[in-house]
Chains A and B, each alone.
Chain A
């Protein structure tokens, strides 16, 4: 056992006090010359020997209580067990799908086992599996069989490669020790991103075990559903031309994972090149394009695509009561408008602001974008839901009319970025029109060179004081009319007037519909396809390639297609030297690291709490014994 603050042990000297008192007062009993002692003879008198034992017990209890107190203040902890704190080895095995070519992962496992076997006797060994993230599958232990079993249990996954993750995890694992990290990987270049900064203690070594270049590989790198076709891209990652055989399966609602054959195509793909093929669009909810590849990685042979979500993404319109026909008539009409013979551009869903607090994350995620018309009744939980939706990449169009509160807006996009002064109801002001400022922006791109936006007349506008957001358009009075604020991975567009015609005639202008469509399309971005990568699978959706309901509780609800990151198929590699150079070595002072380790151990074990409890128990027992003795 070690002590974090050993000086507090000086307090243990207080234990000498009861000992001294005990020694000084060897005959603590009061002595009385009494006249009727004979009447006490038959009474249950205290036996001297028994009393002596009881006094010794009391003394021991008091001394123990004081020592417990002193040791508790010294913050004890159990030092590292045998093998811990000394030499350690972390074996990190790359489980990204690029490792899944024929015989590649078996080779990687063999190299990992070899690294384990080569470790010095007594070395604590841990096994870490990594792809986009890193996971310790076997903690530090001198039991090599345990480490070997952990390696044997690993399989290639559908994830990508991220070296920073494994370095961070291993550094944490090996902190306060001497030793090394062995990274068993295929050294894919994409494992390092430009923004990655991996810091590694200089006292620890990094060794790279390279399993070699990837085998020949065919990969479906893209699949896109258009109105009448499914366009797929197949790439040949080999040095010879290949005749690729592609299959299209289509899935319905009854069987989510297994599709029915819907087409076969054969295409010749030149070495290192890509080829596009198009399947007729079948009926169904989703489809998967497959390529036959017996050599390369298996995970990139399939690509899933949704057929229903593409044509009609869902847009959530939030109003005070959820009655769109009364509170968002123009918005609903504009979003559900369609060309002759074609389905509506968006499926519009209305919701009362007060109900959002009861929604779960998946339910909100099912919507490509949100149009926020009112914040009345939006409780704290609802605000948190919306803010989280934006941070995760969602988009919201906020009609900053009289029903939108500035404080709520601050919670959604961040405090101080936009301060909203809503229009005074009934207040008269000079009519204004829109004056777009940046026609390069996707929302306004289609309006360049046209003066049609200026036909809309605004009599009441909200004053938006902008700080840290981009102003895309202004009213002719100079006040911001359209502001874009990025928040997390998502964004919000703030329109400085009502979108339901209150105080303006904008919804009745021809520019209303295209502007609204462009804004929603911009905000929805990729979300309209509900196509995500494995590493970004929404909560509740398994992080494996396939199609899954976004909300399992909702029958017939929206689907999400989960695909592998196609860049993981890229065979470009780096050298071992380049890998080593990418890691920034830092000197961590050993004593400081030891102190940190000790503090963490002490915090994990918190033995002081047990000691204080023991002290209280001892004092309680002491009180009981003392009362019987006194």
Chain B
């Protein structure tokens, strides 16, 4: 049997950034992830037969066609044509704060790869994937669709994403929540550097509408550890406010603040029934996808 996902050597996001197109990146991540899972994710929700396929480790034994085995002495499983019954919207925060680059790739790049991978995965699962990019407002919006060619359009849109302005998460969230007519799944990728109360309130709006929500809180390691040593003049990416600080003096205070922020999101979103995942930009994308699949499997 193949090794588990945890034992696999995932791709470093920095390495992933050097791959070619966004589609290739997404495919690499998703295929690499799916190949290693114990359980086949290709478990459709339709009963329409599609084809036979040779048994692979991790496949559900219940799908093995024993008659074929009796005839050919080989294990085959029956594959069914999957049909989507889920609308998935990926919300990508493109506010200026997402442009911070620490030691690897920026949060926006990480978010792009993650969104692309999710979209690819959704497409493979015959889920309808949509994309919304936002800063203080919704910048682009692609409705969820499972049509062929939609993935390409989505990836092109992702590829063309540029940094926006200040963050105001709650406004786009409410707009989207109001516009969704069908229950589904919303995946939000953001650094959540906004007023926590308004963010949580906006996400609760989805839950109120019966939509499942997964939040990927993307943070650069520098934002968590605050590793600066020299006296530094910090300029805010969004407000351009400047603060001159001696890192050694402010480090503890900063860490306390950022820890409290993350803890608050985790606690309040958990209470609201929203999956919260903290993702560092130096962590493999597969971890985020695994988290998504866990939520996806639990919900449907």
Contact between chains at A37 and B243 (CB < 8 Å): yes
- Report if B228 contacts A (CB, 8 A): yes
Chain B: how many interface residues by the 8 Å CB criterion? Answer: 34
Q: A40-B234, A45-B244, A46-B231 are in contact. Are A34 and B254 (CB under 8 A)?
A: no
Q: A29-B244, A46-B231 are in contact. Are A35 and B236 (CB under 8 A)?
A: yes
CB distance from A136 to the nearest CB of B (A): 62
CB distance from B95 to the nearest CB of A (A): 9
Contact between chains at A30 and B233 (CB < 8 Å): yes
Contact between chains at B231 and A39 (CB < 8 Å): no
Comparing B29-37, B136-144, B178-186, B245-253, the segment that makes contact with chain A is B245-253
- Report if A33 contacts B (CB, 8 A): yes
Q: A36-B193, A51-B244 are in contact. Are A44 and B233 (CB under 8 A)?
A: no
- Report if B257 contacts A (CB, 8 A): yes
CB distance from A30 to the nearest CB of B (A): 5
Scoring A34, A40, A629 by chain B CB atoms within 10 A of each residue's CB, the highest score goes to A34
CB distance from A50 to the nearest CB of B (A): 10
Contact between chains at A35 and B100 (CB < 8 Å): yes
Q: How far apart sit A630 and B19, CA to CA, in the bound complex (Å)?
A: 40
Q: Which of A31, A34, A40, A41 contacts B100 (CB 8 A)?
A: A34
- Report if A23 contacts B (CB, 8 A): no
Q: How far apart sit A42 and B253, CA to CA, in the bound complex (Å)?
A: 8
Contact between chains at A37 and B244 (CB < 8 Å): no
Q: A35-B193, A39-B257 are in contact. Are A45 and B243 (CB under 8 A)?
A: yes
Contact between chains at A34 and B230 (CB < 8 Å): no
Q: How far apart sit A30 and B97, CA to CA, in the bound complex (Å)?
A: 19
Question: Interface 1/0s, chain A 1-44, versus B by CB < 8 A?
Answer: 00000000000000000000000000111111111111111111
Q: How far apart sit A30 and B243, CA to CA, in the bound complex (Å)?
A: 12
Contact between chains at B235 and A31 (CB < 8 Å): yes
Q: How far apart sit A31 and B237, CA to CA, in the bound complex (Å)?
A: 12
Q: How far apart sit A33 and B243, CA to CA, in the bound complex (Å)?
A: 11
Q: Which of A29, A36, A41 contacts B232 (CB 8 A)?
A: A29
Contact between chains at A34 and B244 (CB < 8 Å): no
Least CB separation from B232: chain A residue: A30
CB distance from A281 to the nearest CB of B (A): 97
Question: Interface 1/0s, chain A 338-381, versus B by CB < 8 A?
Answer: 00000000000000000000000000000000000000000000
CB distance from B169 to the nearest CB of A (A): 14
With a cutoff of 8 Å between Cβ atoms, the chain B residues found around residue A39 in the complex are 253-254, 257-258, 261
CB distance from B190 to the nearest CB of A (A): 12
- Report if A227 contacts B (CB, 8 A): no
CB distance from B281 to the nearest CB of A (A): 12
Q: How far apart sit A35 and B243, CA to CA, in the bound complex (Å)?
A: 12
With a cutoff of 8 Å between Cβ atoms, the chain A residues found around residue B286 in the complex are none
With a cutoff of 8 Å between Cβ atoms, the chain B residues found around residue A592 in the complex are none
Contact between chains at B231 and A34 (CB < 8 Å): no
Q: How far apart sit A39 and B230, CA to CA, in the bound complex (Å)?
A: 18
Which B residues, 194 to 211, have Cβ-Cβ distances below 8 Å to chain A? none
Contact between chains at B253 and A43 (CB < 8 Å): yes
Least CB separation from B252: chain A residue: A43
- Report if A48 contacts B (CB, 8 A): yes
Q: A36-B193, A43-B245 are in contact. Are A31 and B257 (CB under 8 A)?
A: no
Q: Which of A27, A30, A38, A51 contacts B230 (CB 8 A)?
A: A30
Q: How far apart sit A51 and B230, CA to CA, in the bound complex (Å)?
A: 13
Contact between chains at A32 and B234 (CB < 8 Å): yes
Contact between chains at B231 and A38 (CB < 8 Å): no
With a cutoff of 8 Å between Cβ atoms, the chain A residues found around residue B249 in the complex are 43-46
Q: Which of B107, B220, B230, B254 contacts A40 (CB 8 A)?
A: B254
- Report if B241 contacts A (CB, 8 A): yes
Q: How far apart sit A40 and B255, CA to CA, in the bound complex (Å)?
A: 10
Q: How far apart sit A630 and B229, CA to CA, in the bound complex (Å)?
A: 8
Contact between chains at A35 and B191 (CB < 8 Å): yes
With a cutoff of 8 Å between Cβ atoms, the chain B residues found around residue A40 in the complex are 234, 243, 245, 250, 253-254
Q: Which of B191, B229, B230, B241 contacts A37 (CB 8 A)?
A: B241
Contact between chains at B244 and A44 (CB < 8 Å): no
Scoring B99, B193, B239 by chain A CB atoms within 10 A of each residue's CB, the highest score goes to B193
Least CB separation from B243: chain A residue: A40
CB distance from A398 to the nearest CB of B (A): 80
Contact between chains at B232 and A32 (CB < 8 Å): yes
Contact between chains at A41 and B253 (CB < 8 Å): no
- Report if B223 contacts A (CB, 8 A): yes
Q: How far apart sit A47 and B244, CA to CA, in the bound complex (Å)?
A: 7
Scoring A28, A30, A43 by chain B CB atoms within 10 A of each residue's CB, the highest score goes to A43
Q: Which of B223, B231, B237, B257 contacts A30 (CB 8 A)?
A: B231
With a cutoff of 8 Å between Cβ atoms, the chain B residues found around residue A34 in the complex are 100, 234-237
With a cutoff of 8 Å between Cβ atoms, the chain B residues found around residue A51 in the complex are 231, 244
Q: Which of A31, A36, A47, A630 contacts B233 (CB 8 A)?
A: A31
Q: Which of A31, A32, A35, A46 contacts B97 (CB 8 A)?
A: A35
With a cutoff of 8 Å between Cβ atoms, the chain B residues found around residue A45 in the complex are 243-246, 249-250
Q: How far apart sit A39 and B228, CA to CA, in the bound complex (Å)?
A: 15
Contact between chains at B228 and A37 (CB < 8 Å): no
With a cutoff of 8 Å between Cβ atoms, the chain B residues found around residue A47 in the complex are 244
Q: Which of A27, A30, A31, A43 contacts B250 (CB 8 A)?
A: A43
With a cutoff of 8 Å between Cβ atoms, the chain B residues found around residue A31 in the complex are 232-233, 235
Contact between chains at B228 and A30 (CB < 8 Å): yes
27 examples of A-B residue contacts, CB within 8 angstroms: A30-B233, A32-B232, A32-B233, A32-B235, A33-B237, A34-B235, A35-B97, A35-B98, A35-B220, A35-B238, A36-B193, A36-B257, A36-B258, A37-B235, A37-B239, A37-B242, A38-B239, A39-B257, A40-B243, A40-B250, A43-B253, A45-B250, A46-B245, A47-B244, A51-B231, A629-B231, A630-B230
Counting from the closest, the 4 A-B pairs by CB-CB distance are A43-B250, A37-B236, A35-B97, A39-B257
Other 18 A-B pairs with CB < 8 A, given A32-B232, A51-B244: A29-B232, A30-B228, A30-B231, A30-B233, A35-B223, A36-B97, A37-B234, A37-B243, A38-B236, A39-B257, A42-B257, A43-B254, A44-B253, A45-B249, A46-B246, A51-B231, A630-B229, A630-B231
